Amino acid sequence: MGKFVIKETKSGVKFDLKAGNGEVIATSEIYNTESACKNGIESVKSNCTADVEDQTVANFAQLKHPKYEVYTDKSGEFRFRLKARNGEIIATSEGYKTKPSCMNGIESVKKNAPAAETVKE
């Protein structure tokens, strides 16, 4: 069972979505308040079943929000970001060496986020 872990940072509050094995699947931006962070968690829960827009292929089909965007970063690793209905990025992934690993990360968010409990560290 996954969980959202809220953490204080030097500049605000953020969350990590962790899978049952403790691995971080997705991370949020830095929020000004814990309340805003919790709203971000609710947004992930309500948008996590979105479709995937694969930006690593030529002539990819642009999807409407909410959606996951799969892309390659400057170092050539695969990453995803989850965008809400309003187009805001609400969660991002780590870098993956392979696209299938990145896609597994998205599936893990879809599986873990809806029923994940929220805890504070």
Residue 77: is its pLDDT beyond 90? Answer: yes
CA distance linking residue 79 with residue 94, whole number of Å: 6
The amino acid at residue 45 is: K
25-67 per-position pLDDT tens digit: 999 999 999 999 999 999 999 999 999 999 999 999 999 999 9
Residue 118: is its pLDDT beyond 90? Answer: yes
How many domains does the chain contain in total? 1
Q: What is the CATH number of the domain that holds 71?
A: 2.30.29.80
Domain region containing 50: 3-120
User: What average pLDDT does the segment 70-94 reach?
Assistant: 97
For residues 20 and 112, the answer to whether their CB atoms sit within 8 Å is: yes
CA distance linking residue 79 with residue 98, whole number of Å: 9
List the one residue out of 119, 118, 97 whose CA is nearest residue 42.
118
Q: What is the model's pTM?
A: 0.94
Measuring CA to CA, how many Å separate 70 from each of 10, 63, 79, 90? 29, 12, 6, 14
